[in-house]
């Protein structure tokens, strides 16, 4: 299995949606732009958000097995994917890539 590198590329926050629909919460996301994780054997890396991991895992599995080329050539690097967690109020964008 190939190792997979996950890099936090961007973090957004939609205050208007939060004001309309979200109950106040004390703690949200611990990710930071530029933060990286190395995945071996498809095991969730320490510090990775559970919700984000659930979104990324199918792509991590495919890339670790040598696959890729998602959605018929979507990415310039066929052994990568740009994905976001499923938090509609403060999505985090991750670049996921197979590494040697």
pLDDT in tens, the chain (100 residues): 999 999 999 999 999 999 999 998 888 889 999 999 999 999 999 999 999 999 999 999 999 999 999 999 899 999 999 999 999 999 999 999 999 7
The number of beta carbons lying within 10 Å of the beta carbon of residue 95 is 17
The domain segmentation of the chain, as residue ranges, is: 3-99
The number of beta carbons lying within 10 Å of the beta carbon of residue 97 is 19
CA distance 18 to 23: 8
């Amino acid at each position: 299995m190939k190792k997979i590198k996950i890099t936090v590329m961007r973090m957004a926050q939609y205050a208007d949606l939060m004001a309309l629909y979200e109950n106040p919460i004390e703690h949200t996301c611990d990710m930071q732009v530029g933060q990286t994780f190395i995945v071996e054997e498809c095991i969730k890396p320490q510090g990775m958000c559970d919700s984000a991991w659930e979104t990324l895992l199918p792509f991590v599995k495919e890339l670790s097995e040598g696959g890729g080329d998602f959605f018929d050539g979507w990415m310039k690097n066929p052994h990568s994917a740009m994905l976001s967690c499923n938090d509609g109020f403060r999505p985090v964008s991750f670049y996921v890539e197979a590494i040697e």
